[in-house]
Structure 1
Amino acid sequence: MTDINNMNEEELLSKHRKERKDMQGKIQALKKSAAKGDKKKKKEVAEEIAILELELDKRHAEELSQLKKQDLEVGEICESLQSLETNDAGDVPGQINQRVSKAQRRRDKKATKEREREEYIKVQAKENIHGARNVETQKIKSILKAQNLMIQEIPSDGNCLYSAVDYQLKYVDRSEMGIDRLRSLTSQYLLGHMSDYLPFLSHPESEELMTIEQYEEYCQKVANTAAWGGEVELRALSHAIKCPIEVIQAVGPSIIIGEEYPGKRITITYHRHMYGLGEHYNSVKPYEEPSQEEEIVTNSEEIERHDQITESK
């Protein structure tokens, strides 16, 4: 860990900002190293990036904690000296230490951790304000707000596309298909329209067009695994359920798939930078003014990560 004994808080935060900026340059270089269409390499790069970001976050949290601990120790020494000056002549330092109960030490430790957490939240909010994820999210929020909508968070578990569509179907049509049903319909449509989709799919390792056998295996994965869905699955799903789907993204105009179908369209959002391991889909819901707590805590994922780090100490 970096020696921070001669640093004050502002100098440490400045150092952290520089290291995050350097990290972004390294991340961009890693992303460029993955050839277009090489899904295996792209996944490896994404995993490496996630590890680098986690390690940097952990080290920053530890350094900030170390600095806070030093400040707390200096304060405790000053308080002890003041107490010594005001105590009776017969008192000795050992008696002062005995007066601090275990319960008080636990309360002090808890208070210190809470102060560290609050400081980390403030620092993280400053660091993320110009990050790709935050910039993208704010742009999407702005587009949605103009339509009196807001983001409905969907878990990042491989099923985000189907979960986002399912949430919209419940809201728009009051119908409940479920993820398994939507995956099955998508797979069946892809199998029944092989000539429309096979020319656009390549094998992730060889980068050559899929064979018929590989395509059929791919369709089985769509139906029976948590394989992430992209544009191909989205188009097939729109046709399978005969419903127009609008995809809102930060860069470029919204994409509407299945415009030929009548009825109310459903809306989902596409995020390139929301998670370290790849793209993500969210759903939408009617707009509500965010609470003060939501405005302050702008990055729950980072905060949870920080809490895990501090709990392990």
Structure 2
Amino acid sequence: MEDGTVDTPEELLAKQHRKEKKDLQAKIQSMKNAVPKNDKKRRKQLTEEIAKLETDLSQKHEEELEQLKATTDTKSDKVEEAINGVETMKVDDGNQEEVKQPRMTKAQKRRDKKAAHEKDRENRIAEAEVENLQGVRHQEGLMLAQKLSQQQLQIKEISSDGHCMYRAIEDQLAQRSKPGLIMSVKELRCGTAEYMRSHADDFLPFLTNSNTGDMYTTDEFDKYCNDVEHTAAWGGQLELQALTKVLHLPIEVIQADSPTIKIGEENDGEAITLVYMRHAYGLGEHYNSVERLKDPANVEDS
């Protein structure tokens, strides 16, 4: 600082949080600018994406504050214990027994306060889980189950690890028991990236820089395709569009509160069916596979 003083860890963290909030607001503004005002569907998705970004940042800041407070409390406890140790050594043997009597130190008060805070936090989490039974996640699950049952289908859970869309397609292909159609997640990602690279003009207009709102440059598009191929980057409608070309199969995506999205209908063959969930996990968006609806009577007998 200009006056020569040194910022405390709390002040440094507060500065970092202010900067991150400012950066997020700039990013959000760019995202808003990149979506046409008359595109109601995309604007709705954008609102949900923004809410998720703000929630994630708020949670991150809260965890960092708690971590800093825990570190500070630990240091304070050690200092106080050291001081108490010195005081004990100064007392004569005749009063030693009295000194050893339990007393409520500031450090103990802080520990008790922290334990109470943790218990309160756990209670709030438990209450939130109960409330969620009537919340959006539960309602989404009910709506999807009803839609799927009309087709004699049910959700088949896929792990949430960034590869969920590709894992759901991998599962759909495996259920067909046709060796020529079976592909791993790695093969699906590789095929998707390769098709996108070789048909850049079909995808570039839909990819924009979140900071500037400008269409991706060639380098940015190359990085995007590399991430598709080599990382756990989430897949979306662009990747599904590429996959219909790679697999020569149509893909349908069932959603709770929106019409089913059908991609690659020009392809023959049985459609790959995915379930898109907006509120499945804390991270939000998620893809699951489907399977034939099981007969409850047969499940009970098995």
State the TM-score bracket (shorter-chain normalisation).
Answer: 0.5 to 0.7
Q: Structure 1 pair 238/191, CA: closer, same or farther in 2 (3 Å)?
A: same
Whether 1:177 aligns to 2:238 is: no
| 1:175-233 C-alpha deviation (Å, 9 max, x unpaired) | 32110000000001100111111011012333221001111111111001110011111
Displacement after TM superposition at 1:275 (Å): 1.8
| Distance in 1, Cα, partners of 2:258 & 2:124 | 40
- C-alpha distance in 1 between matches for 2:147 and 2:186: 31
Is the partner of 2:31 in helix, strand or coil? coil
Could you tell me which runs of 5 or more consecutive residues in structure 1 were left unpaired when the two chains were aligned.
Answer: 1-29, 65-119, 292-313
Equivalent position to 2:208, from 202, 205, 223: 202
Quote the offset at 1:240 in angstroms.
Answer: 1.3
Corresponding residue of 2:134: 130
| AA aligned opposite 2:138 | N
Contact 1:269 1:284 in 2 (8 A): yes
Mapped pair 1:61 → 2:122: yes
- 8 Å CA contact retained: 1:47, 1:276: no
**What is the CA distance between 1:124 and its match in structure 2?**
6.3
Q: Which amino acid aligns with 1:37?
A: M
Q: Which deviates the most, 50-59 or 160-169?
A: 50-59
Q: Please say which of residues 253-262 and 269-278 is displaced more in the overlay.
A: 269-278
Query: Larger relative contact order (C-alpha < 8 A, sep ≥ 6)?
Result: 1
In the alignment, structure 1 residue 140 sits paired with structure 2 residue 144:
yes
Partners of 1:265 and 1:151 in 2: CA distance: 16
Q: Which has the larger radius of gyration?
A: 2
Say whether residues 1:276 and 2:270 are aligned partners.
Answer: no
TM-score by length of 2: 0.59
Is 1:247 the counterpart of 2:253? The answer is yes
Q: Tell me the TM-score normalized by structure 1.
A: 0.57
Change (3 A) 1:275 1:48: farther
In the superposition, relative to structure 1, how do residues 125 and 213 fare at CA in structure 2: closer, same or farther (>3 Å)?
closer
Give the 3 Å change call, closer, same or farther, for CA 191–288 of structure 1 in structure 2.
same
| Alignment partners' CA distance in 2, 1:37 and 1:231 | 18
CA contact (8 A) 2:30 2:211 kept: no
Within the candidate set 54, 65, 75, 1:45 is matched to 54
Task: Note if 1:265 corresponds to 2:276.
Answer: no
Q: Find the counterpart in structure 2 of residue 149 from structure 1.
A: 153
Report % sequence identity: 39
What pairs with 1:36-115 in structure 2 (closer than 5 Å)?
A: 37=31, 44-48=53-57, 59=120, 61-62=122-123
Q: How far did residue 256 of structure 1 move?
A: 1.0
Give the number of aligned pairs.
204
